[in-house]
Amino acid sequence: MSDFRQAFIQFAIERNVLCFGEFKTKAGRMSPYFFNAGLFNDGDSLRKLGQFYAKAIMAAQLPFDMLFGPAYKGIPLVSTIAIALAEMGHNYPFCFNRKEAKDHGEGGVLVGAPLAGRVLIADDVISAGTSVRESVELIHASGATPCGVVIALDRMERGSGQLSAVQEVKKMHDLPVISIIDLNDLVEYLQDKNELDQHLCAVERYREQYGAGFFNQNHE
């Protein structure tokens, strides 16, 4: 596992974004861990979060021309990612959308740079894939091309069928999905941390029960 992935897990634990215990998911499953990116809710956390996203993007070596953040969570994400990339010497334009069209001023649903070229979508996680689908539609409607999605965590678990939410997005939209970490990274991290050993078996059992081909999934 890359150093920045280990550092991100530690960072998420320190900010209580990643917690261990018993948590009921939207699918009704009892998960041994919970990830809430909304708790990266201060300036320093957001700055560091953008740096981790930027490192994952650069590690993936995916060509793109600009960034897009779907409202609402994608708005601060795309902003901090753009800043982090600029600090690394890669200055990209970015854009985000409004939930409702503005009928005065500049109008429309898009804010920021015009959507053009290859567009990388930034979000926190992929659950039902609704945000990605709406983003893809907006990008196509603007004459641009969606080229990938970057998220913080890939839970790598089955949805309603045999595929995970990330796999469904890959299949439906033919898009690569980059994640800072995935469930395999979390298991590997726990294996190396004696103080968290009590959570390892529960997470491994959950992965075995609900994982969507987890041994064959890799970071893009």
Which residue among 104, 140, 173, 219 is the active-site one?
104
Cis amide leading into 72 (omega within 30): yes
Active site residue 140: no
- Max distance between CA atoms of the chain, in angstroms, equals 58
Let me know if 104 is a catalytic residue: yes
Q: Given 90, 102, 140, 171, which residue is catalytic?
A: 102
Angle subtended at Cα 156 by Cα 151 and Cα 157, rounded to the nearest 5 degrees = 130
Active site residues: 102, 104
